[in-house]
Amino acid sequence: MNARRTLAPPLAPILARLVALCAALLLAAPAALAQAPAGVPLMQEPLKPGAASAASAGKPGAARTITWEALVPPNWDPFKDFKGLNFQILDDGDPRAMLFLKRMREVWDNAPHNPKVVGQNVRIPGFVVPLEDSKEGMKEFLLVPYFGACIHSPPPPANQIIHVLPKSPAKGLRSMDTVWISGRIDTVRTDSFMGASSYRIEAVDVSPYQEKGQ
């Protein structure tokens, strides 16, 4: 950890950025990937409930490709308590900014899971946030849907973070690498120093991200 003291970032821009990122993420808007490396479109067309991906169609037990939107319950509104608020007009010293940020983190860190995906064998792409690395490889990490989450920007809602435990240590991974992970998705609450997650996948496969046809 860097021992040098750093200035705290302004709260109002952080609040506004959190809202913008979450809105873009849940609405599958391109703005959510503005900071992603070129050629890494993690937002795909949402699958219909129960539909199999082209890659897994006709293969019993094969992993079904899902999008990050599938992890969010249809009736959950992350902005319910913050509608009509303009965070940009708040001064950094305004106690309301700190209050809103605290309340937003409480709501998002306790974001509900979608029971329809729990227990399924899934495949999903994302960015790596390391939790435990070793000379054998990465033993534990978080998977997040946009570049910089949990590292260069505050964590997204807990239902947009997956705690990943590879079947065997994943070799050659670095922070913010893009990967596909496959495995059974379960609802296991994890509170880590990088963020809270609503889901866990004990990954049977961790592979470098590639678009279709590559």
For residue 17, the model assigns a pLDDT of: 53
Q: What domains are there in the chain, each with its CATH number?
A: 11-208 (2.40.50.870)
For residue 2, the model assigns a pLDDT of: 36
Tell me: the pLDDT tens digits for 94-115? 777 777 778 888 888 999 999 9
Angstrom distance (rounded) from CA 17 to CA 20: 5
Average pLDDT over residues 51-63: 48
User: What predicted TM-score, i.e. pTM, was given to this entire model?
Assistant: 0.72
